């Protein structure tokens, strides 16, 4: 089959690889009908996530049709149309029982490796380095889905791929980011990053009752999409000196009630601080460039919440721990527990409350995946989200 | 993870610590100023006796460092007793050969005898307190399995003979207990880790991911997978990955050429 493989920093290519097979009795094989490039794929592309190997099949946002299954997958039938969540979760361990699926204790065969890196291991993830299990990803014609009796959600009516594909990651991720803000009536939420996850965080914050949502980015086209589709106000940081100061004045001197970091480890900024972190990051002396979270903490009102859904990988410099502690700010974080949100969010889509397809700007064949990565990475051609069609 | 027996600190009381520093002080003097020390004990301080004095200084320094830095210093305390014996014989020799300064030599002998008493007492006390010593470190690896205790114990009995044999080989034993908060069962394996070549060997094995603790931790993780999910999870890159050592040299995350099932 054809699959998009990581070949080194800034190099991916669609190659011929063996077809996947059932390796465990709770596996299913899915023929992929739609798959997408995620912002976190760019961290792999840029070479900031360790333990990638040349030839790794990328991709963790995909859906398709079940074409084979192991003997213990009772809930799916051959021919079923499914969306596959990006964390692989067994459904049996303590973490899964508490619906903390991205912390599944059993789905990462490389747990020993992950434990050395993070202290405790996390769940397996499709196509997302060997630290998360070394599973082949879904930017391919077929994928093997472990614990298929737990993860995939059946799509039973004729709702198009484009409207449900993002249940695999970015819609639930954005939703969880908003949910962690514990939104109450009248709350003002600020969101760093108007990428696809930021867009869904904004839409979700509104759904959960936020009075105002303010999005911060430097790309006007992304801010425009946010204004048109999520009801957010926007702040282009390219034009202003000091984001926390601007947010303070926009919120009557209080600061936002909660701040969502939907940017993560490769954030941008201007001025000398950016140069400092950019150099350290490029030299791999600092694992993450933490501007967004620094600003989120400095902007958040006293006693507020900072919700981190942007991905970080290691250690950061100049973290404003003093502000965090003395001002009573809570940090909430996590890779999304997608399985927890798929059913309720599918219902919202079916009821017409939201159509997640608004983030798609490019739909191209799988064979053009390398072009998709370049478009998305460099924000060319007003790119916001690339969907690949095998 | 590692549970070293709690002997550090409390085990080394002030007398042992005094003897350690005493060794270092005396050793430094002997090593750095052998001629002056020779004169002090009534020796001639010519070429040979200076070398002997330096050597004894080095011995004292080693003993001092050993007593102060080892968690269980009984061996090093006994080395002091042996050292006292060597000192006494050398001093006797000096007294026989250098008659003009016998007064000084006699004073030195009296001093050595005075310190031999606490040396013997402290060595004996530490030997008794240490009891049986193991050539290794007491370790524990534990995992929580989200199943009732009876089920976990039954599964353990039925588990791979290989695992049982491995634990038996290292003198380990397994403890089952209910995890607090209805979280199933804690399985803990206590064992003695005695890698070849001691601490150096342990460091090398650990870096390579093939030390006993890592191995057992992986075994326990797989046992947990089996009990909780009914299978051992395989990924494309680690179809049979088991040891951390294997995990460091895995294949790309691409589907396998051949079925493993």
The 10 Å Cβ neighbour count of residue A361 is 18
B237 and B162 co-located in one domain:
yes
Pull the structure tokens for residue B7: 């002997």
CATH of the structural domain A2-169+336-389, one choice from 3.40.50.2300, 3.30.70.100, 3.40.50.720, 3.90.180.10: 3.90.180.10
Q: In whole angstroms, what is the distance from residue A205 CA to residue A180 CA?
A: 10
Q: Quote the number of domains for chain B.
A: 2
pLDDT at B209 over 80: no
Pull the structure tokens for residue A134: 């070394």
pLDDT recorded at residue B237: 84
Pull the structure tokens for residue A85: 């969540």
User: Does a structural domain hold residue B230?
Assistant: yes
Question: Which range in A301-315, B37-51, B238-252 is most confidently predicted, on average pLDDT?
Answer: A301-315
pLDDT recorded at residue B6: 40
Q: A90 at the B interface (CB within 8 A)?
A: yes
Summarised one tens digit per residue, pLDDT across range A80-111 is: 999 999 999 999 999 999 999 999 999 999 99
pLDDT at B221 over 70: yes
Render A164-177 in DSSP notation, one character per residue: HGGGGTHHHHHHHH
B235 and B172 co-located in one domain:
yes
pLDDT at A179 over 90: yes
pLDDT recorded at residue B242: 55
pLDDT at A186 over 60: yes
User: Does a structural domain hold residue B2?
Assistant: no
Domain that holds residue B98: 14-130
Task: Give the residue on B whose Cα is nearest the Cα of A131.
Answer: B247
pLDDT at A138 over 80: yes
Render A20-44 in DSSP notation, one character per residue: P---STT-EEEEEEEEE--HHHHHH
Where along chain A do its domains lie? 2-169+336-389, 171-333
pLDDT recorded at residue A288: 76
- Say which CATH number the domain at B162 has: 3.30.530
pLDDT recorded at residue A28: 98
**Which DSSP symbol is given to A109?**
T
User: Shortest CA distance to A244 belongs to which of A125, A327, A178?
Assistant: A327
Summarised one tens digit per residue, pLDDT across range B18-67 is: 899 999 999 999 999 999 888 888 887 777 888 889 999 999 999 999 88
Tell me which of A214-228, A243-257, A270-284, A355-369 is least confident: A270-284
pLDDT recorded at residue B138: 80
pLDDT recorded at residue B258: 65
pLDDT at B3 over 50: no
Summarised one tens digit per residue, pLDDT across range B72-101 is: 788 888 899 999 999 999 999 888 888 888
Render A341-381 in DSSP notation, one character per residue: HHHHHHHHHHTTS--GGGG--EEEEGGGHHHHHHHHHTTGG
Nearest beta carbon to residue A94 from set B144, B239, B250: B144
Mean pLDDT value across residues B222-236: 92
The whole-angstrom distance between A364's CA and the closest CA on chain B is 23
pLDDT at B7 over 90: no
Summarised one tens digit per residue, pLDDT across range A315-347 is: 888 899 999 999 999 999 999 999 999 999 999
Secondary structure in 3-state letters for A36-93 = ECCHHHHHHHCCCCCCCCCCEECCCEEEEEEEEECCCCCCCCCCCEEEECCEECCCCC
Please, which residues have CB within 8 angstroms of residue B153's CB and are 6 or more apart in sequence?
A: B176, B185
- Domain closes at, from B109, B130, B151: B130
- How far is CA A161 from each of CA A82, A83, B232, rounded to the nearest angstrom? 10, 9, 33
pLDDT recorded at residue B2: 41
Q: In whole angstroms, what is the distance from residue A202 CA to residue A341 CA?
A: 16
Among B233, B242, B243, B250, the residue to mutate for chain A (most A Cβ within 10 A): B233
Contact B252 A53 (CB under 8 A): yes
Tell me which of A1-10, A180-189, A302-311, B61-70 is least confident: B61-70
Among A134, A135, A137, the residue to mutate for chain B (most B Cβ within 10 A): A134
Query: In chain B, which residues have their Cβ closer than 8 Å to the Cβ of A134?
Result: 235-238, 250, 253
Query: In chain A, which residues have their Cβ closer than 8 Å to the Cβ of B257?
Result: 18
Crossing angle of helices B102-130 and B14-32, rounded to 10°:
140
By the 8 A CB rule, do A299 and A243 touch? yes
Q: In whole angstroms, what is the distance from residue A84 CA to residue A68 CA?
A: 15
The 10 Å Cβ neighbour count of residue A173 is 30
User: Does a structural domain hold residue B113?
Assistant: yes
- Domain closes at, from B74, B105, B130: B130
User: Does a structural domain hold residue B170?
Assistant: yes
B162 and B125 co-located in one domain:
no
pLDDT at B5 over 50: no
Q: In whole angstroms, what is the distance from residue A291 CA to residue B183 CA?
A: 39
Q: B240 at the A interface (CB within 8 A)?
A: no
pLDDT recorded at residue B73: 82
- pLDDT-derived band at B240 (thresholds 50, 70, 90) equals low
User: Does a structural domain hold residue B226?
Assistant: yes
Residues within 8 A of B (CB atoms), A 27-66 only: 53-57
Which residue's entry shows tokens 């204790």?
A: A105
Summarised one tens digit per residue, pLDDT across range B168-190 is: 888 888 999 999 999 999 999 99
Mean pLDDT value across residues A230-258: 94
CA angle A361, A357, A341 (to 5 degrees): 130
Q: In whole angstroms, what is the distance from residue A278 CA to residue A301 CA?
A: 28
pLDDT recorded at residue B56: 92
Mean pLDDT value across residues A123-147: 96
Contact A113 B244 (CB under 8 A): yes
Q: Which CATH class is domain A171-333?
A: alpha beta
Q: B207 versus A176: which is more confidently predicted?
A: A176
- pLDDT-derived band at A42 (thresholds 50, 70, 90) equals very high
User: Does a structural domain hold residue B1?
Assistant: no
Summarised one tens digit per residue, pLDDT across range B188-200 is: 999 887 766 666 6
Q: In whole angstroms, what is the distance from residue A25 CA to residue A70 CA?
A: 4
B41 and B63 co-located in one domain:
yes
Task: Give the residue on B whose Cα is nearest the Cα of A89.
Answer: B229
**Which DSSP symbol is given to A237?**
G
Pairing assessment for the beta strands A87-88 and A330-333 based on DSSP bridges: unpaired
B116 and B180 co-located in one domain:
no
- Domain closes at, from B99, B130, B161: B130
pLDDT at B1 over 50: no
Query: In chain B, which residues have their Cβ closer than 8 Å to the Cβ of A12?
Result: none
Averaged confidence pLDDT in chain A: 95
pLDDT recorded at residue B241: 52
Q: In whole angstroms, what is the distance from residue A341 CA to residue A323 CA?
A: 32
pTM of the entire predicted model? 0.80
pLDDT at B246 over 70: no
The whole-angstrom distance between B132's CA and the closest CA on chain A is 34
| ipTM for this model | 0.89
CA angle A84, A307, A274 (to 5 degrees): 105
User: Does a structural domain hold residue B253?
Assistant: no
Q: Is A131 exposed, middle or buried (0-12, 13-18, 19+ CB in 10 A)?
A: buried
B68 and B33 co-located in one domain:
yes
Mean pLDDT value across residues A52-79: 97
């Amino acid at each position: 089959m054809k699959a998009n493989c990581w070949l080194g920093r800034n190099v991916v290519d669609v190659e011929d690889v063996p077809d996947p097979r059932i390796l465990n009795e709770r596996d299913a094989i899915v023929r992929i009908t739609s798959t997408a490039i995620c912002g976190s794929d760019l961290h792999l592309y840029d070479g900031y996530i360790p333990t990638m190997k040349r030839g790794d099949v990328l991709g963790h946002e995909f859906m398709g049709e079940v074409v084979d299954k192991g003997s213990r997958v009772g809930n799916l039938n051959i021919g079923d149309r499914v969306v596959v969540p990006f964390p692989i979760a067994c459904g049996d361990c303590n973490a899964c029982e508490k619906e903390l699926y991205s912390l599944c204790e059993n789905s990462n065969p490389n747990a020993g490796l992950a434990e050395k890196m993070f202290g405790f291991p996390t769940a397996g993830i499709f196509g997302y380095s060997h630290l998360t299990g070394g599973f082949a990803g879904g930017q391919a014609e077929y994928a093997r889905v472990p614990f298929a009796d737990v993860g995939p959600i059946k799509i039973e009516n004729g709702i198009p791929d484009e409207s449900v594909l993002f249940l695999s990651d970015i819609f639930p991720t954005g939703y969880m980011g908003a949910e962690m803000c514990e939104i109450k009536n009248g709350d003002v939420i600020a969101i760093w990053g108007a990428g696809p996850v930021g867009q869904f965080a904004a839409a979700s914050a509104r759904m959960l009752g936020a009075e105002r949502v303010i999005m911060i980015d430097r790309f006007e086209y992304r801010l425009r999409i946010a204004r048109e589709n999520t009801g957010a106000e926007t702040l282009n940081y390219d034009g202003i000196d000091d984001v926390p100061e601007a947010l303070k004045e926009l919120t009557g001197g209080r600061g936002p009630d909660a701040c969502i970091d939907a940017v993560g480890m490769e954030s941008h900024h201007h001025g000398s601080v950016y140069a400092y972190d950019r150099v350290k990051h490029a030299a791999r002396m600092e694992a993450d460039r933490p501007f967004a979270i620094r600003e989120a903490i400095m902007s958040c009102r006293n006693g507020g919440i900072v919700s981190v859904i942007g991905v970080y990988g290691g250690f950061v410099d100049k973290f404003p721990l003093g502000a965090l502690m003395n001002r009573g700010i809570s940090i909430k974080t996590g890779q999304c527990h997608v399985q927890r949100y798929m059913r309720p969010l599918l219902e919202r889509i079916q009821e017409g409350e939201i159509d997640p397809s608004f983030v798609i700007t490019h739909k191209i064949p799988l064979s053009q995946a390398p072009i998709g990565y370049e478009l998305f990475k460099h924000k060319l051609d007003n790119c916001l989200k690339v969907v690949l069609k095998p | 993870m590692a549970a070293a027996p709690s002997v550090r600190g409390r085990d080394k009381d002030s007398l042992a610590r005094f003897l350690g520093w005493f060794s270092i002080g005396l050793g430094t003097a002997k090593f750095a100023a052998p001629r002056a020390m020779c004169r002090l004990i009534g020796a001639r301080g010519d070429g040979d006796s200076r070398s002997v004095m330096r050597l004894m200084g080095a011995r004292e320094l080693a003993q001092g460092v050993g007593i102060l830095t080892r968690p269980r210093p009984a061996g090093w305390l006994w080395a002091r007793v042996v050292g006292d014996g060597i000192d006494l014989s050398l001093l006797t020799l000096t007294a026989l050969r250098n008659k003009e300064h016998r007064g000084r030599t006699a004073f030195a002998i009296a001093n050595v005898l005075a310190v031999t008493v606490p040396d013997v007492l402290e060595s004996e006390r530490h030997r008794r307190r240490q009891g049986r010593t193991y050539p290794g470190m007491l370790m524990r690896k534990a995992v929580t399995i989200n199943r009732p205790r009876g089920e976990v114990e039954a599964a353990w009995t039925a588990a791979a003979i290989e695992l049982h044999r491995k634990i038996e080989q290292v003198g380990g034993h397994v403890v089952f207990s209910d995890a607090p908060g209805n979280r199933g069962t804690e399985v803990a394996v206590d064992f003695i880790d005695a890698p070849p070549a001691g601490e150096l060997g342990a460091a090398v094995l650990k870096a390579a991911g093939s030390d006993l603790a890592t191995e057992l931790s992986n075994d326990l993780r797989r046992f947990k997978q089996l009990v909780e999910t009914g299978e051992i999870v395989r990924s494309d890159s680690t179809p049979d990955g088991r040891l951390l050592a294997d995990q460091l040299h895995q294949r790309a995350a691409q589907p396998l050429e051949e079925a493993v099932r």
